[in-house]
């Protein structure tokens, strides 16, 4: 049997106290703001570094490279990465398989301790990781802090959940038997995270895999590989054995497909677009020669999220919630509010107040903590601008509507609001993934609920109303995985809001919830007749 040497740094220990969400950073505090500026200066001095592939603990370089750039100033290279190809898929698989033999037999306490160690490292360097997020994907300070905080939450929460799973018991103990239910690891998994939460989602899927005893081939987004590389450095410092996580930036069409299709791949955890998720699901479903299991897919594939605003709502709160959810991180969240469905009696007032609120948003370099930074790349900007042109023909432009010229060539777009949109219009149905809000007029609650449910997605939704009856009906009939009552539809918190959606939004994985780790395990039932155990002999 292959052996993975466990570093002495991993000392099995229990988490301290019950799980608590990482507190948000107060950047209004002058000293904290000064420290954030210092972190940005520190990270700026480390931009452009070249990072290796890491397969089986060994560092490799390739002829092909991936350059990650700052979307606020694309001439600034954040990191240079090796480009794994199809030829590296087998090497990564063999390394992961070898590591699995020992890692899967490592105690859950030791595996959980790795996560707790990593959480503490990140907590101590929180602002530094915020700065990396600002440079690589254009997050302002608050959005970056939320991403880092969620990363810490996932590490702390999944460590505790893994320990809880070890205490699982069968509902019934038959007389004369000792009955057990054990959650055992699946095997080698492919983890394919997105660029928009390049720290939290990437880390969450990775550590959920490894704390349950699996090993991982990690293929980060080509738009955000540096954040993933920094996370691997944290895991190594925390005691990660070689081969447990294999770091392989690369093309989805070559390396990614090769890993998904490999007969020894046991599961694929993916977050991204609907089209890519469906392609992964299809490729994973096809049986390959030598494959002895049905591959499991854990998919989160985006949304077309709505906020319903009724005439009896707190309109100021509704306006604030819609604008925050629509334009936070330039609308580049699968949970972002892209549709406001507004009751006719307050429609005109709502549109005007949204226009006024949006006019106060500042678009600019996230390093100086502007309200809105850039979109991720030129292809995204071009796609969003095309949708805006479609929207101008489908409705009435209220605010924004064009790119923001800047001397650095950054990918900035004005926060755009288009009113008088039909529920079936293109911009009311297709995921835009940018700072574009469509406003739809309805007559009454039942029509609003029907419009809210009229897309192929079902990720997040919100409703503002003073009616208890409407809230109760929405809780039952508003068909989304994450529903928010009288609050915005973004900002899911680990533990409180297990996250995942219905329909084309994915497999409803419920990240950050008590069921999530079950997706990375298989349940084994063991029943032993009491009094029948043979004497122990050497094997």
Mean pLDDT value across residues 481-497: 98
| Length in residues, the chain | 539
Mean pLDDT value across residues 352-376: 98
Q: Is 201 helix (H, G, I), strand (E, B) or coil?
A: helix
Give the rounded percent of residues in the chain with a pLDDT score beyond 70: 97
Given a cut of 50, whether residue 2 has pLDDT beyond it is no
In this predicted model, what pLDDT tens digit does every residue of 19-47 receive, in sequence order? 999 999 999 999 999 999 999 999 999 99
Separation of alpha carbons 103 and 99, rounded Å: 6
In this predicted model, what pLDDT tens digit does every residue of 369-378 receive, in sequence order? 999 999 999 9
Residue with token string 């994973």: 284
Q: How high is the pLDDT of residue 16?
A: 87
Residue 171 CB partners (closer than 8 Å, separation 6+):
none
Q: How high is the pLDDT of residue 1?
A: 36
In this predicted model, what pLDDT tens digit does every residue of 143-184 receive, in sequence order? 999 999 999 999 999 999 999 999 999 999 999 999 999 999
In this predicted model, what pLDDT tens digit does every residue of 269-307 receive, in sequence order? 999 999 999 999 999 999 999 999 999 999 999 999 999
The token duo for 242 is: 């070689």
Mean pLDDT value across residues 415-434: 98
Paired residues of 458 in beta bridges: 502
Are the C-beta atoms of 158 and 119 separated by less than 8 Å?
A: no
35-64+77-168+178-301+506-525 under CATH 3.40.605.10, yes or no: yes
Given a cut of 50, whether residue 324 has pLDDT beyond it is yes
Separation of alpha carbons 205 and 293, rounded Å: 21
Q: How high is the pLDDT of residue 8?
A: 47
Residue with token string 């700026």: 44
In this predicted model, what pLDDT tens digit does every residue of 99-117 receive, in sequence order? 999 999 999 999 999 999 9
* Same fold flag, 35-64+77-168+178-301+506-525 and 305-485: no
Mean pLDDT value across residues 511-521: 98
In this predicted model, what pLDDT tens digit does every residue of 221-252 receive, in sequence order? 999 999 999 999 999 999 999 999 999 999 99
Confidence tier at 88 by pLDDT (50, 70, 90): very high
Confidence tier at 4 by pLDDT (50, 70, 90): very low
Q: Is 9 helix (H, G, I), strand (E, B) or coil?
A: coil
The one catalytic residue among 300, 394, 414, 431: 300
Given a cut of 60, whether residue 207 has pLDDT beyond it is yes
Q: How high is the pLDDT of residue 9?
A: 55
Average model confidence (pLDDT) across the chain: 96
Q: Indicate if 334 belongs to the active site.
A: yes
pTM: 0.96
The token duo for 234 is: 């944290």
Burial category of 522 from C-beta neighbours within 10 Å (exposed 0-12, middle 13-18, buried 19 and up) = middle
Mean pLDDT value across residues 409-429: 98
Confidence tier at 54 by pLDDT (50, 70, 90): very high
For the chain, domain boundaries: 35-64+77-168+178-301+506-525, 305-485
**What are the φ/ψ torsions at residue 391 (nearest 5 degrees)?**
-60, -35
Are the C-beta atoms of 197 and 220 separated by less than 8 Å?
A: no
Q: How high is the pLDDT of residue 296?
A: 98
Residues 305-485: name the CATH superfamily: Aldehyde Dehydrogenase; Chain A, domain 2 (3.40.309.10)
| Angular region, 213: left φ>0, alpha ψ -120 to 50, beta rest | left
Count the neighbouring beta carbons within 10 Å of the beta carbon of residue 469.
9
Given a cut of 80, whether residue 255 has pLDDT beyond it is yes
The one catalytic residue among 248, 334, 337, 489: 334
In this predicted model, what pLDDT tens digit does every residue of 502-513 receive, in sequence order? 999 999 999 999
Are the C-beta atoms of 92 and 246 separated by less than 8 Å?
A: yes
């Amino acid at each position: 049997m292959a052996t993975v040497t466990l570093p002495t740094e991993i000392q099995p220990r229990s988490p301290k106290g019950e799980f608590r969400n990482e507190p948000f950073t107060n950047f209004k505090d002058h000293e904290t703001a000064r420290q954030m500026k210092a972190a940005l200066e520190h990270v700026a001095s480390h931009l452009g570094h070249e990072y290796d592939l890491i397969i089986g603990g060994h560092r490799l370089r390739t002829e092909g490279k991936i350059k990650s750039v700052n979307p606020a100033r694309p001439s600034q290279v954040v990191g240079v990465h090796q480009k794994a190809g199809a030829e590296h898929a087998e090497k990564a698989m063999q390394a992961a398989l070898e590591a699995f033999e020992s890692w899967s037999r490592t105690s859950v306490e030791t595996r959980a301790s790795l996560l707790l160690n990593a959480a503490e490292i990140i907590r101590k360097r929180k602002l530094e990781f915020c700065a990396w997020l600002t440079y690589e994907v254009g997050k302002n300070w608050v959005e970056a802090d939320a991403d880092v905080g969620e990363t810490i939450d996932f590490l702390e929460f999944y460590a505790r959940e893994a320990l809880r799973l070890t205490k699982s018991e069968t509902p019934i103990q038959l007389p004369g038997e000792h009955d057990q239910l054990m959650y055992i690891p699946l095997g080698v998994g492919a983890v394919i995270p997105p660029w928009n939460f390049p720290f939290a989602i990437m880390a969450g899927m990775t550590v959920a895999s490894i704390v349950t005893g699996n090993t991982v081939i990690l293929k980060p987004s080509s738009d955000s590989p540096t954040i993933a590389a920094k996370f691997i450095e944290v895991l190594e410092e925390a005691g990660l054995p070689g081969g447990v996580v294999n770091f392989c930036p690369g093309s989805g069409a070559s390396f990614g497909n090769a890993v998904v299709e490999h007969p020894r791949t046991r599961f694929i955890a993916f977050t991204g677009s609907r089209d890519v998720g469906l392609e992964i699901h299809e490729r994973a479903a096809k049986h390959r020669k030598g494959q002895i299991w049905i591959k499991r897919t854990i998919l989160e594939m985006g949304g077309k999220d709505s906020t319903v605003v009724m005439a009896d709502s707190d309109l100021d709160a509704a306006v604030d919630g819609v604008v925050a959810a629509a334009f936070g991180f330039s609308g580049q969240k699968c949970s972002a509010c892209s549709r406001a469905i507004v009751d006719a009696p307050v429609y005109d007032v709502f549109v005007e107040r949204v226009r006024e609120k949006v006019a106060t948003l500042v678009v600019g370099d996230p390093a100086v903590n502007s309200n809105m930074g850039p979109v991720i790349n030129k292809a995204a900007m071009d796609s969003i601008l095309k949708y805006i042109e479609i929207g101008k023909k489908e409705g009435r432009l209220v605010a924004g509507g064009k790119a923001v010229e800047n001397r650095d060539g950054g990918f900035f777009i004005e926060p755009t609001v288009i009113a008088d949109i039909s529920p079936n219009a293109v911009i009311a149905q297709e995921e835009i993934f940018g700072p574009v809000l469509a406003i739809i007029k309805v007559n009454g609650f039942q029509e609003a609920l029907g419009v809210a449910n009229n897309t192929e997605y079902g990720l997040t939704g919100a409703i503002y109303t003073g009616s208890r009856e409407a809230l109760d009906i929405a809780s039952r009939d508003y068909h989304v995985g994450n529903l928010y009552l009288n609050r915005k539809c973004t900002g899911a918190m680990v533990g409180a809001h297990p996250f995942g959606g219905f329909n084309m939004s994915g497999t409803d994985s419920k990240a950050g919830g008590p069921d999530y780790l079950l997706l990375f395990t298989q349940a084994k039932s063991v029943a032993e007749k009491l009094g029948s155990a043979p004497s122990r002999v050497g094997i």
